[in-house]
């Protein structure tokens, strides 16, 4: 287990170790795993979306357990109450006082399965935890322990018995990652592994090392003013693209900077951000933050895919092409 981190080279080694451990139990999706690492290190949350059976929950669970952190899982249902997540105060007849019983949100990594099945009131309670990293119950506020990350899953084609995630909550997710079906070779490998014995996931990094790695990214990885202007112009440009009713917000600019800094450290161990880092994370950071016109996909062949992934990529590419790349 990795116990410490001192510079960005150590951050890359940590990321490689986590990816190697996850790949022992999940076929493919190394890019998704890398994004999960970046989000956890910079203090963000992740929404994993895809078709049923694409190992969304499996990947989230394996990744969470590969870290030396406390992990809890919440299965969302239509009758899930806020107290089922945050906890509640219970009367103790021995002490004649009310005691707080913490809910599953009191963990370092919380896997929320099928988050869109939770009713709006429960999603609102989860929103405070994600944004403020604190829990309010009966007028008492309790800070959550760092690091804290929510990894939520969502089936792309299920609508019955679900509640759409409000834009304000979607905006709190650093990444929205799309998982698709594997190719033939990948599916064969999945079948082989399922016939083997149960998984034995080994934590590869301690909590102290993870916190140190996150601090390294925020303090040691630098972005010049030209990069900041590039990010701001790109995000502001999403409001000027046809078929986009509402573009990305300033929160998206901050998220894009954090993600780019994390990408630089995790992939190459660099201490500076380049435009290619911004481009590499732009789709995952912004694809859930744009509000499209209702007829945006009517005449598009991508509408048949349900997700309109390529259509959104084209929109973001159009906004990016309008911004001068700093040299």
* Domains of the chain with bracketed CATH: 8-207 (3.40.50.300), 223-321 (1.10.8.80)
φ, ψ dihedrals at 90, nearest 5°: -120, 140
Beta-bridge mates of residue 246: 291
The pLDDT of residue 295 is 63
E strands in 63-108: 67-68, 71-75, 87-92, 97-102
CA 76-312-280 angle, to 5 degrees, is 90
φ, ψ dihedrals at 138, nearest 5°: 50, 45
Query: Token pair for residue 215?
Result: 């601090």
Beta-bridge mates of residue 86: none
* Pick from 130, 148, 128: nearest CA to 72: 148
Query: Token pair for residue 180?
Result: 């698709």
E strands in 232-282: 244-246
Residues with Cβ within 8 Å of 67's Cβ and at least 6 positions away in sequence, in order, are 18, 40, 108, 109, 203, 204, 205, 207, 210
The pLDDT of residue 97 is 83
Which DSSP letter does residue 44 get? -
Distances (CA, A) of 321 to 28, 62, 234, 247, 311: 31, 37, 9, 16, 15
The pLDDT of residue 195 is 64
The pLDDT of residue 197 is 62
The pLDDT of residue 282 is 94
Report the C-alpha gap between 55 and 48 in whole angstroms.
Answer: 10
Give pLDDT tens digits along the chain (327 positions). Answer: 888 889 999 999 999 999 999 998 888 899 999 999 999 999 999 999 988 888 899 899 999 999 989 999 999 999 999 999 998 888 888 887 888 888 999 999 999 999 999 998 898 888 889 988 999 887 788 899 999 999 999 987 767 778 888 888 889 999 999 988 888 888 888 887 776 667 788 899 999 999 999 999 999 999 999 999 999 999 998 888 887 888 888 999 999 999 999 999 999 999 999 999 999 999 999 999 888 776 665 555 544 444 567 778 888 888 888 888 886
* Pick from 48, 25, 177: nearest CA to 114: 48
Report the C-alpha gap between 148 and 254 in whole angstroms.
Answer: 18
DSSP annotation string for 106-169? SSSEEEEETGGGS-HHHHHHHHHHHHHSEEEETTEEEEPPSS-EEEEEEESS--TT--PPPHHH
3-class DSSP string for 302-317 = HHHHCCCHHHHHHHHH
The pLDDT of residue 303 is 46
Query: Token pair for residue 144?
Result: 């959550």
The pLDDT of residue 41 is 96
Report the C-alpha gap between 263 and 53 in whole angstroms.
Answer: 28
On the question of a cis peptide bond just before residue 29, with omega within 30 degrees of 0, the verdict is no
Report the C-alpha gap between 10 and 221 in whole angstroms.
Answer: 13
Report the C-alpha gap between 201 and 18 in whole angstroms.
Answer: 11
Q: What DSSP element (H or E) covers 177?
A: strand 175-179
* Pick from 250, 156, 193: nearest CA to 62: 193
* Pick from 168, 154, 212, 198: nearest CA to 14: 212
Inter-residue contact 5 to 217 (CB < 8 Å): no
Report the C-alpha gap between 198 and 77 in whole angstroms.
Answer: 28
């Amino acid at each position: 287990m990795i116990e410490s981190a001192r510079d960005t080279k150590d951050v890359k080694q940590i990321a490689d170790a986590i990816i190697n451990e996850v790949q022992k139990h999940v076929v493919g999706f190394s890019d998704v795993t890398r994004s999960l690492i970046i989000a956890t290190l910079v203090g963000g949350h992740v929404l994993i979306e895809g078709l049923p059976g694409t190992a969304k929950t499996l990947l989230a669970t394996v990744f969470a357990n590969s870290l030396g952190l406390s992990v809890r899982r919440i299965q969302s249902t239509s009758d899930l109450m806020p107290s089922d997540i945050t906890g509640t105060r219970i009367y103790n007849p021995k002490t004649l006082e009310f005691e707080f019983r913490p809910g599953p949100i009191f963990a370092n990594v919380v896997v929320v399965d099928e988050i869109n099945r939770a009713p709006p009131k429960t999603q609102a309670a989860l929103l405070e935890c994600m944004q403020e990293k604190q829990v309010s119950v009966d007028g008492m506020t309790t800070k959550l322990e760092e690091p804290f990350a929510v990894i939520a899953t969502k089936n792309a084609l299920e609508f019955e018995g679900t509640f759409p995630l409000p834009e304000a909550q979607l905006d709190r997710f650093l990444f929205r990652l799309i998982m698709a079906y594997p190719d033939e070779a990948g599916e064969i490998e999945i079948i082989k592994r399922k016939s083997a014995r149960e998984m034995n996931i080994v934590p590869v990094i301690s909590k102290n090392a993870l916190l140190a790695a996150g601090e390294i990214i925020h303090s040691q990885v630098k972005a010049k003013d030209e990069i900041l202007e590039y990010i701001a112009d790109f995000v502001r440009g999403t409001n000027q693209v046809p078929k986009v009713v509402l573009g990305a917000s300033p929160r998206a600019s901050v998220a894009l900077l954090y993600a780019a800094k994390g990408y630089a450290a995790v992939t190459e161990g660099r201490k500076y951000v380049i435009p290619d880092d911004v481009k590499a994370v732009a789709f995952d950071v912004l694809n859930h933050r744009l509000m499209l016109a209702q007829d945006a996909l009517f005449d598009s062949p991508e509408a048949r895919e349900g997700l309109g992934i390529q259509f959104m990529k084209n929109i973001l590419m159009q906004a990016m092409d309008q911004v001068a790349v700093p040299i």
